[in-house]
Amino acid sequence: MAKAPIHRWILLFALSAASCTQRHHAPVASSLPPPVRPEVLHTGRLWLAFEGHTPDTQCVRPAQARALCFEQVREALAQALGRGLWPAFPEVAVKEHGDELAPGDYLLWVQLGLEAQPPEGAWPGWSAAARGRWQLIRDGFPVAGETVYSRSRSDFAYGRSLGVGAGEVLDAISVRIASVLGGLPESQPQLAIPLPPVETGAPQSTTEPELAARR
């Protein structure tokens, strides 16, 4: 078999490199803010529903800029929500295909879209923003919900670093959701089962021979 000319391999390498640089990749990560102290302890499990509402990879292309793809969005959102909501619920989990809700379980679906905002005025940095809505459902009935919007500080260069800004806005929205859900009244409280009584008495004295034997 005849070998391809060296200039052909150089051309293929150049085309491959060009195709890999047509967009920026910005992984999104949660900085795990401290959990919000709940006002109410709830009895049902809380399922997080993202599939069909919040894409895991979200690509944007501002005017005169290369495409930018926010990646690992669901993982960052799940970490931030889980961190903020676990004190108020006995269990927080991401709902996967096939998971079934038990009576009394909560379902929180979140729809968020990420944006890259260009510099404004004399400030040179870019910022990340997220807008969308969320709703809490229990046994098929809506419990709470609202639309949300948050924008990060304008300190980022366009590209990978905007993933940090996106993580900031996801954390901010997650803290907001946790603060609302933590104050919702519990409609199905469970009465605590009392523990059995404990009888107490003075400790028994230990003789010198027994102490020597233990040594």
Domain of 151, in residue numbers: 22-185
Q: Is residue 108 one of the residues assigned to a domain?
A: yes
pLDDT per position as a tens digit, 173-184: 999 999 999 889
pLDDT per position as a tens digit, 74-88: 999 999 999 989 888
pLDDT for res 206 = 60
Does pLDDT of 207 surpass 80?
Answer: no
Does pLDDT of 36 surpass 70?
Answer: no
Q: What is the CATH number of the domain that holds 53?
A: 3.40.50.10610
pLDDT for res 208 = 64
CA distances from residue 85 to 40, 81, 156, 176, 196 in whole angstroms, order as listed? 11, 6, 29, 11, 31
Structure tokens at 184: 């919702």
Q: Is residue 204 one of the residues assigned to a domain?
A: no
Does pLDDT of 167 surpass 90?
Answer: yes
- Going edge to edge, which strands form the sheet with 58-60? 23-27, 67-71, 58-60
- Where residue 147 falls among pLDDT bands split at 50, 70, 90? very high
> What average pLDDT score do residues 98-126 get?
91
Q: Is residue 70 one of the residues assigned to a domain?
A: yes
Pairing of strands 67-71, 92-94: unpaired
Asked whether the CA dihedral 98, 101, 33, 181 is positive or negative, the reply is positive
- Contact at 8 Å (CB) between 178 and 36? yes
Q: Is residue 77 one of the residues assigned to a domain?
A: yes
The span from the CA of 14 to the CA of 36, in Å, is 51
Q: Is 132 left (phi over 0), alpha (psi -120 to 50) or beta?
A: left
Asked whether the CA dihedral 149, 152, 153, 158 is positive or negative, the reply is negative
pLDDT per position as a tens digit, 7-35: 443 333 343 333 345 778 888 777 665 55
Q: Is residue 211 one of the residues assigned to a domain?
A: no
Structure tokens at 205: 């004295």
Does pLDDT of 201 surpass 50?
Answer: yes
Q: Is residue 91 one of the residues assigned to a domain?
A: yes
Q: Is residue 74 one of the residues assigned to a domain?
A: yes
- Where residue 194 falls among pLDDT bands split at 50, 70, 90? confident
pLDDT for res 120 = 85
Q: Poorest-confidence range of 26-35, 37-46, 152-161?
A: 26-35
The span from the CA of 122 to the CA of 161, in Å, is 20
Place of tokens 């469970």: 190
> What average pLDDT score do residues 34-52 get?
82
pLDDT > 70 in the chain, percent: 79
The span from the CA of 172 to the CA of 151, in Å, is 9
- Contact at 8 Å (CB) between 130 and 173? yes
Place of tokens 């910022």: 127
Does pLDDT of 189 surpass 60?
Answer: yes
Q: Is residue 94 one of the residues assigned to a domain?
A: yes
- The total number of structural domains in the chain stands at 1
- Where residue 166 falls among pLDDT bands split at 50, 70, 90? very high
